Structure 1
Amino acid sequence: MEKIPQQKAFNGLKIVLYGPESTGKSTLTKQLTQHFKTAHVEEFARDYLQDKYDATKTICEYHDLLPIAIGQRITENDAAQRATGYLFCDTDALETYVYSIAYFDKAPEELKTAVSKSDYDLYLLLDVDIPWVADDLRDKPEDRKGMFQYFKQGLQDFNKKYVIISGTGENRFKNALAAIENITN
């Protein structure tokens, strides 16, 4: 089986947009990328799982976790070669790990190792204070606060530096900018 690649070096700040589903990670990633005029990392799991759902009408299974983590890391390493100054990652291996614990009560050891060895300057943990948007893959609208706690615990378990980002619309973006400015000053 293919292994999760190591992170490639990046001469700038790596920031992960992180948290439960439907918290605006992809939107905020794109806003920050545009603001800082750099490249970003797309969420690999979104396309992978949507393709699976379209083909089989099934959602994520335990055996999907490593291919998702591998695809996410490959996508990150590719984006790191194009980015300048900042690299914004729409999720990472820790996100996959947390979903593994939340849904399957276990995680592949290789995934845990990849999280331990991952190096990011900051995680922006997105709060569940924006409206839920349903789609084919999202399935926990009634347990958003519980899922938020899983994500927060994952950051604490792996001793990752993070800031909780709350607010709606332009305020959410401004709060993210302020968190980034705090680590650059």
Structure 2
Amino acid sequence: MKKIVLIGPECTGKTTLARALADRLGGVYVPEYSRPYSIRVRSEQGRNLTLDDVMPIVRGQIAAEAGAAAQNPDYIFIDSNPLASAVYSMWYYGREPEGLDGIVSSMKYDMYLLCAPDIEWEDDPARDMPVGREGIFAMFEEALAVRRLPFAVISGEGDERFENAMAALAGRVLPAERK
């Protein structure tokens, strides 16, 4: 089972790309847990997320990944993961909650696809960052590099973005007959 994480700033096509890759390769798509969580907190509690919300998001994301892994697919395409929570914690709160670094270090993935902020930002109830995406993109890139995690930057629009992702996977996680 190969676990591929799509990661990066908001509104960079992670969800669309993760679904398309899962469809093409017959894998399982794991949705981003923080998105519905954030929308629920805003609508039910009338507030933005705080540092106290990070660990419940991480636990929910890990549970969703475990559910996908239990299906024993060849590929799991994960829309965000605990590393994303760590990066966003640093961006929004200047620190990570206690224990998050250990969780990030313990989670193993075969490949990260870091989605570049080169597509237009679109507003929706879960997004709040129309500017600054380049700054958080740099934080993601640094977090991946410092941890020596296997990643490729994915850019382009539409089909080009998808083909760039397929090419990155072909070079690292896809068997020869799937490339």
**TM-score of the two chains, using structure 1 as the length reference:** 0.91
Letter matched to residue 78 of structure 1? G
Aligned-pair RMSD on alpha carbons? Answer: 1.1
Are 1:113 and 2:82 an aligned pair? no
State the alpha-carbon separation in 1 of the partners of residues 41 and 90 from structure 2: 21
Are 1:170 and 2:175 an aligned pair? no
Alignment of 1:118-129 (within 5 A): 118-129=107-118
Name the % identity: 37
| Structure 2 spans left out of the alignment, 5+ residues | none
Q: Which residue of 2 aligns with 1:145?
A: 134
Are 1:63 and 2:52 an aligned pair? yes
Measure how far apart 1:83 and its partner are.
4.4
Letter matched to residue 31 of structure 1? A
Measure how far apart 1:159 and its partner are.
1.8
**8 Å Cα contact 1:59/1:137 also seen in 2:** no
Q: Which residue of 1 aligns with 2:64?
A: 75
Q: What whole-Å deviation, never above 9, does each CA across 1:120-153 have from its counterpart, x for those lacking one?
A: 0110000000110111231221211111111111
Single out whichever of 137-146 and 68-77 deviates more from structure 2: 137-146
- Judged with a 3 Å threshold, the aligned counterparts in structure 2 of structure 1 residues 179 and 131 are, in CA distance, closer, same or farther, namely same
| Structure 1 spans left out of the alignment, 5+ residues | 1-11
Single out whichever of 81-90 and 110-119 deviates more from structure 2: 81-90
- Judged with a 3 Å threshold, the aligned counterparts in structure 2 of structure 1 residues 83 and 175 are, in CA distance, closer, same or farther, namely farther
Match of 1:39 among 28, 31, 36: 28
Count of aligned pairs between the two proteins: 174
Match of 1:96 among 85, 97, 122: 85
State the alpha-carbon separation in 1 of the partners of residues 161 and 71 from structure 2: 26
**TM-score of the two chains, using structure 2 as the length reference:** 0.94
Q: What whole-Å deviation, never above 9, does each CA across 1:83-104 have from its counterpart, x for those lacking one?
A: 4211110000000000001111
Task: Indicate the SS of the match to 1:115.
Answer: helix
Are 1:156 and 2:139 an aligned pair? no
Q: Which residue of 2 aligns with 1:19?
A: 8
